[in-house]
Chains A and B, each alone.
Chain A
Amino acid sequence: MSTAPLAYTTASSSGFAQSLSLYGKETKYEFFKLLRAKSFSLAVIGFPVMFYLIFGIANRHVSNGNVHIAKYMLGGYACFGLVGAALFGIGVGLAAERAAGWLELKRASPMPPMAYLFAKCITAVAFGIIIVSVLTILAVTMGGVTLSPDELVRMLGMTVAGAISFASMGLLLAQIVPANAASGIVNLIYLPMSFMSGLWVPIQFLPHWLQQIAPVLPTYHLAQLMLSIYGYQDHASLASHWMGLAGFTMLMLGLSWLVFNRSQQNA
């Protein structure tokens, strides 16, 4: 007992260094855990790349007005990829760790819960950047797409914003979806939502009624923000898309907080 106060005085002076190391390791191992899990990394990186090779590269000479379709699709599949990384990495990953009892063991340890969420969020951002980088290389080398350095930087910035935004949805799904059904349920939400928001096929080629539904989908606002980097956005204002994405993020975080508090009360 007598050693305890001593431990804390020495710990508080090096507390910041310890926190930094803790957050760093949590993030590093979260990233390697997912990168080495082939079922995750191959699917999450492979699907957008495969789709882009099939649909994007095929349209390298096609333009619709001043819209280069291969470049438009780069934006769409970039969004498709980064949303998938966030929903599968966090939604499915966290649900599985919760079901296996691993999360409970971590909660019994002094790990700060924020470190766990931070690591998951940064890992989603990292996978988003990997996916967008691979797609960009394919687009530039095989799709005849020209990107200015400024456009590339803004794309990567948008990837970070989008990954953080959809991380909030992953967090909510992880809490309400049973682990053994998680990847099925995530697919049921993710795939139709991507299609209806014009991430696979340019939205102006979709049936008119689908185009009218799109503004209620967060992926639509993300896609329009990404496309605005190339000047390909629709008529709605950029501010409205930012509002849509931010509102969606707030809604997801708020619901996650409610669900979490409710489960704490029942525990």
Chain B
Amino acid sequence: MPPTVIAQETGTAAVRTMAPVQQPIAILANVTKRYGATIALDGLSLALRPGEVVALLGPNGAGKSTAVRLLLGLIAPNTGTARVFGSDPRDPATRTRVGAMLQVARLPETLRVCEHIDLFRSYYPRPLPAEEIVRIAQLDGIYNRFFSQLSGGQKQRVLFGLALCGDPDLIVLDEPTVGMDIEARRGLWQQIRNLVERGKTVLLTTHYLEEADALAHRIVVINEGKVVSEGTPSEIKNSGAGRRISCFTRLTAEYLRTLPGVARVECDRETVVVTASEVESVVREMLLQDAALSNLEIASPALEDAFLALTSSR
């Protein structure tokens, strides 16, 4: 159950100096959750280790929000267990160490941003100083505004700020960048990276694959309440068909299909697209056979392709 890929990290956020084997701080163990006749989660297991960013990816209705709500103690599983910091997530003492950013349609609009922050800080025994929250969530210009006066992206930043109020060790972000423009989204990504550098653990659900790719140490793809695949972003990408070669060539599709490692050949006008697991040897052979080969490009598969392949096959 516990994934084994934690040690081999890629990307920007490999900042930890702790012992290589760490106990998970939050687990869902073989949980099943039913709503009437529908099964939202079907024997799902998930473990979060300190300092890692895990992205929960899946199509709508896959069970992402249900998993989040279980970890936050908002609902209880039908079978299986949810544990956060070794105890029940519904325990108030556990809640003081968890921050949540949920999809909230509307906060009370007649309160100012500073009042919302002040109120949420009062819920925690050791809150983060208000200035820190303003700095991390970038609330400078809007701190004294009423919630009703904020744009969509600014509202998301306030919700992010509320998640930070208790200086939590675990931060759960449910679709955090909905309604943000690309600049604001990248700003929030940077803030999430800053949190990880402070040793925080982040669970995020998203339907932006780019976001999971940019932030997560580990991606868990779920569909119909089950884990379909999990691994680092590059592992998830390579779990698909392989890399793609596109070029202009007079070699025929029939010939190309006979080369070792070639999974698929498509022709789009004069461009030929070859999908292969061992691209280097395929390209070497193609160049030998066709001296006039031109416009050569080799691309890694997008996470999106891997994701679609993973979730549509079920």
Contacts and interface: CB of A to CB of B under 8 A. Distances in A.
Interface of A: 1, 4, 7-8, 10-11, 14-15, 18, 21-22, 25-26, 29, 32-34, 36-37, 97, 99-102, 104-105, 107-112, 266-267
A32 B93 CA distance: 29
Nearest to B98: A108
Nearest to A107: B74
A138 to B, nearest CB: 27
A7 B108 contact: no
B106 interface: yes
A106 to B, nearest CB: 8
Contacts of B257: none
24 contacts: A7-B125, A8-B93, A14-B125, A15-B125, A21-B122, A22-B123, A25-B122, A29-B111, A29-B115, A29-B118, A34-B110, A37-B110, A100-B104, A100-B107, A101-B102, A104-B74, A104-B102, A108-B74, A109-B95, A109-B165, A110-B93, A110-B96, A110-B123, A267-B75
Contacts of A112: 92
A108 B95 contact: yes
B74 A97 contact: no
A21 to B, nearest CB: 5
B122 A22 contact: yes
A18 B126 CA distance: 10
A3 to B, nearest CB: 9
Contact of A25 (B110, B118, B124): B118
B111 A11 contact: no
Contacts of B120: 109
Contacts of B100: 105, 108-109
Interface string B77-107: 0000000010000001101111010111111
Given A36-B110, A37-B109, 9 more contacts: A10-B126, A25-B122, A29-B108, A33-B110, A36-B111, A37-B110, A101-B103, A110-B166, A111-B123
A100 B162 contact: no
Nearest to B167: A7
A260 B252 CA distance: 69
A267 B74 contact: yes
Interface in B160-217: 162, 165-166
A30 to B, nearest CB: 9
Interface residues of B, number: 38
B36 to A, nearest CB: 8
Contacts of B85: 1, 4
B119 interface: yes
Interface in B32-73: 35, 72-73
B137 interface: no
Contacts of B122: 18, 21-22, 25-26
B111 A33 contact: yes
B31 interface: no
Contacts of B97: 4
Interface in B108-143: 108-111, 115, 118-120, 122-126
A1 B84 CA distance: 12
A33 B108 contact: yes
B219 to A, nearest CB: 24
Contacts of B108: 29, 33, 97, 102
A101 B165 CA distance: 18
A238 B210 CA distance: 70
Contacts of B98: 108
A36 B72 CA distance: 32
Contacts of B262: none
Contact of B125 (A11, A25, A111): A11
Contact of B104 (A32, A105, A109): A105
B102 A26 contact: no
Nearest to B115: A29
Nearest to B23: A1
B220 interface: no
B92 A110 contact: yes
B126 A7 contact: yes
A51 B73 CA distance: 47
Nearest to A34: B110
Closest 8 CB pairs of A and B: A11-B125, A36-B110, A110-B95, A101-B104, A100-B106, A108-B100, A100-B105, A108-B72
